[in-house]
Amino acid sequence: MSKAAPADRLSPALRTEALEQLLVERELVDPAVMDKFIKTYEQDVGPLNGAKVVARAWTDPGYRAWLLRDGTAAIKDMGYGGPQGEHMVVLEQSDEVHHVVVCTLCSCYPWPVLGLPPSWYKDPAYRAGMVRTPRRVLREMGLEVPEGKRIEVWDSSAEVRYLVLPQRPPATEDLDAEALAALVTRDAMVGVAEVAAP
């Protein structure tokens, strides 16, 4: 007779699957609704959406200007919007200024273009530290911002959410928008990383 593994020794994936099965069996959730949510977060919401916005801005000067002037409309034009993305402001990185986003009160985050917020974004240490000592927190996260560059911290809220437009890395002039989008990370669009050259 084999013994079942204790729940605390099961992988998170197995625990999630078991919980889903239990909820379906008890008719507390509709499998079709769950499949729709999963599909939404796998295909329609996530950092790849934001990466496509960034790549288009890097390759289309007119779109870049529109994105910086009216982020909400320009992002919606690419098909990304809705809850958590109604009021978007885009911040452009430059040689003089480094932008970084935080939500000091909770974890307001632009889900349509960045997907689910990472755990560190919701962590009180990140939220407080980024406001008080942003250069130190960025260094701890692996990004060294030169002393001569000003750091601007933007506090996301229920009224406005921010997307950082990273600087285009060197040696990418021959890349098309799809190849450029593959270089862009969620962390670069929050401002805690830079886009690395290929």
Q: Known catalytic residues? A: 103, 106-108
| Averaged pLDDT for residues 187-198 | 96
Burial of 66 (0-12, 13-18, 19+ CB in 10 A): middle
85-107 pLDDT tens trace: 789 999 999 999 999 999 998 87
Residue with token string 């605390």: 8
pLDDT at 38 over 90: no
Q: At 47, list the tokens.
A: 């950092």
Architecture of the CATH domain 46-190: Alpha-Beta Complex (3.90)
Calpha distance 47→51 (Å, rounded): 6
Whether the pLDDT of residue 156 is over 90: the answer is: yes
pLDDT for the residue 35:
72
The response to whether 103 counts as a known ligand-binding position is yes
Greater model confidence, 117 or 133? 133
At 171 the three-state DSSP class reads coil
pLDDT (average), residues 118-124: 91
Q: Which of 100, 98, 78, 74 shows the shortest CA–CA distance to 88? A: 74
DSSP state of 89: E
- 1 pLDDT tier (thresholds 50, 70, 90): very low
Strands 161-165 and 150-155: unpaired
Confirm or deny that 108 is annotated as ligand binding. Answer: yes
